[in-house]
Structure 1
Amino acid sequence: MSPPSLIQASVPSTQTAPIALSYELFPPRNEAAEATLWDTIRELETTNPDYVAVTYGANGSNRDTAVELLNRLLTETSLRPLAHLTCVGNTADELAEIISELLDHGVRGILALRGDLPKDASSQPRAGSLGYAQDLIELIRRVEQRRSALLCAGKVAIGVAAYPARHPESPSVEHDVEVLLAKQRSGADFAITQVFFHADQYKDLVTRARRAGVSIPIIPGVMPLTSLRRVQRLGDLTGVEPAPALLDALGRADDAGQSRRIGVAATVDLARAALDAGAPGIHLYTFNEHGAALEVLDKLQLLRPAPRTAPQRLVRA
């Protein structure tokens, strides 16, 4: 008689997975911004996040600075980077080269995105360029397969975007879920949502996605709502009206300190509601500023493991 399979053994109900924590950073535009960013990185590192996402400019406009930041995170910190990668305007061959470069640097997580379409409506896509995130996911998996012997110590995790509110170019929220399901079928491992302002938007997305067959983790992306201007701007970009009470409170704030307290409290309420709805983690859009993000994290009181030790740089004699 064969011994019982460990795969078939049930996991004790008390062994729940810890809440995942991640941040988003963007490459610095100048030396002053770089100094500020590294202050933020060192502060965020103390919270031992599971990974930090590094954004990638439209059409790879900041590719060199993004790769440099990713490399420094890998060699000078204990942080695990998740590299954003967009496909609009790039051919499969160009993207395969970029993917290989990221893997050579030690990146093992990629957020596969379509990227913004050209603002000039008359612009035509380049011949051979990829048009959808789903195409990019499949390309990453093909590059991974060709390099499987080099990746025995860690395969590639692929993340994608999810939309609690309807994507501005989508005909319906149902279509958004169909796209998310297609991304999963192509090899996506998890999803991070775009910014949302109402807890029900996240809960409704998860409900629709699960009913459609999406099984990958859907992590809520939360922005510290501490700036009236930034909240209004993101409302315009997403097409979702922020809560009128929040806009009113931020608008009546006497100073930046009061605006920050109002925004942090609203962000904590939004994140708690998502966690109460079963969110597997929290992804904080930091805008390269650590203060408000750390306040939100402190008030959420998420249990974090002990910090990892940063890698030691090799010094050659």
Structure 2
Amino acid sequence: MKIIDLINNSSKTAFSYEILPPLKGTGIEKLHETVDTLREFDPQYINITTHRSEYVYNDLGNGMFQRSRLRRRPGTVAVAAAIQNKYNITVVPHILCSGFTREETEYVLLDLQFLGITDLLVLRGDKAKHESVFTPESDGYHHAIELQEQINRFNQGIFVDGSEMKVPAAPFSYGVACYPEKHEEAPNIDADIYWLKKKVEAGAEYAVTQLFYDNRKYFDFVEKARQAGITVPIIPGIKPFKKLSQLSMVPKTFKVDLPEALTNEVLKCKTDREAQQVGIEWCVNQCKELMSHGVPSIHFYSIGAVDSIKEVARQIY
């Protein structure tokens, strides 16, 4: 069953979350612990992030450095298959423009198809750490909508070189990202909504938001999207606030604002444990308000926050 069907057929606000593949060489056991911790809340699906290769510099000991490429978190396809096989939960691997050529993307699609994994989240992805602006691979894409077009052609049985598949398999369905406080590179929110509409017209069946802490910004974004003719589900992406350091880290990393009320409560905290409790309470109230407005699903970003999400889910599901 496709993600859109899982969401629409859920008798309550659907629960889902995102995980990272493990660091190279560390094994999958910690991911199993995460799934085991959150499975009691009946996740409708689990997203698995994809990470591009980055340049690293190795000291050769003679005053020279050797530049090489390293993917610190490989294994998205394998992790997706392992989780789906072990837990029988639908998985949604991320497919990126960033760091991938068209041919590499095609091989990923073929591997996923062989494994019976046909749900995707299609993203441009972040720029590399050494880049000042996003730069695609020489045979890659600048925008997620271009990646959608390749997936659509693949669904039609056509490879990137124009040749046809002899035996087309089950087509992929996919969602895309959206940004209630606008993407950092967008000139304004209207431009963001314009491109979200284009992505929906190109085949996206739903959109998942960047994390946010102010529900009003989500509601305003959804209203603007509906006025623009976007009718697909817009799923709120949520991450509980957890550490004192996130007062500065969250706005800098994710380009989102922290509400004054949340900031004031966190500033009263003397320890991370106190800040975590504030974050849980804020997240519970945030989710309850979203649910009262009839959101079809809530998607949690679990990285570093599994214990908080478990407590939030315990109170709202």
TM-score greater than 0.5 by the shorter chain: yes
| Residue 87 (structure 1) shift | 0.9
Within the candidate set 256, 274, 277, 2:293 is matched to 277
| Residue 102 (structure 1) shift | 1.6
Within the candidate set 87, 92, 95, 2:105 is matched to 95
For 1:143-162, what per-residue CA distance to the aligned partner results, in whole angstroms no more than 9, with x for missing partners? 122178522xxx42201001
Is there any run of 5+ residues in structure 1 with no aligned partner, and where?
Answer: 1-14, 302-317
| Residue 82 (structure 1) shift | 0.6
How many pairs were matched up?
284
Amino acid at match of 2:303: F
Q: Which residue of 1 aligns with 2:36?
A: 42
Q: Which residue of 2 aligns with 1:150?
A: 169
Alpha-carbon separation, structure 1, partners of 2:210 and 2:196: 13
| Residue 299 (structure 1) shift | 1.3
SS at match of 1:24: strand
| Residue 165 (structure 1) shift | 0.2
Amino acid at match of 1:51: Y
Alpha-carbon separation, structure 1, partners of 2:79 and 2:255: 31
| Residue 273 (structure 1) shift | 2.2
Alpha-carbon separation, structure 1, partners of 2:133 and 2:266: 40
| Residue 192 (structure 1) shift | 0.4
Alpha-carbon separation, structure 2, partners of 1:219 and 1:142: 26
| Residue 63 (structure 1) shift | 6.5
Amino acid at match of 2:155: E
Amino acid at match of 1:282: I
Amino acid at match of 2:143: Y
Give percent identity, aligned residues only: 27
Alpha-carbon separation, structure 1, partners of 2:134 and 2:212: 31
Within the candidate set 121, 125, 128, 2:139 is matched to 128
Q: 1:233 to 1:123 in 2, by over 3 A?
A: closer
Q: 1:122 to 1:254 in 2, by over 3 A?
A: closer
| Residue 243 (structure 1) shift | 1.7
Given that residues 87 and 131 in structure 1 are in contact (C-alpha distance below 8 angstroms), is that contact kept between their aligned partners in structure 2?
Answer: yes
The 5 Å alignment of 1:140-179 reads 140-146=151-157, 149-151=168-170, 155-179=171-195
Q: Which residue of 1 aligns with 2:121?
A: 111
The 5 Å alignment of 1:224-239 reads 224-239=240-255
Within the candidate set 214, 223, 227, 2:230 is matched to 214
| Residue 177 (structure 1) shift | 0.4
Q: 1:40 to 1:231 in 2, by over 3 A?
A: farther
Within the candidate set 261, 276, 280, 1:245 is matched to 261
TM-score normalised according to structure 2 size: 0.82
SS at match of 1:85: strand
| Residue 88 (structure 1) shift | 2.5
The structure showing larger relative contact order (alpha-carbon pairs under 8 Å, at least 6 residues apart) is 1
Alpha-carbon separation, structure 1, partners of 2:195 and 2:305: 32
Is there any run of 5+ residues in structure 2 with no aligned partner, and where?
Answer: 1-8, 55-70, 158-164
Alpha-carbon separation, structure 2, partners of 1:168 and 1:124: 16
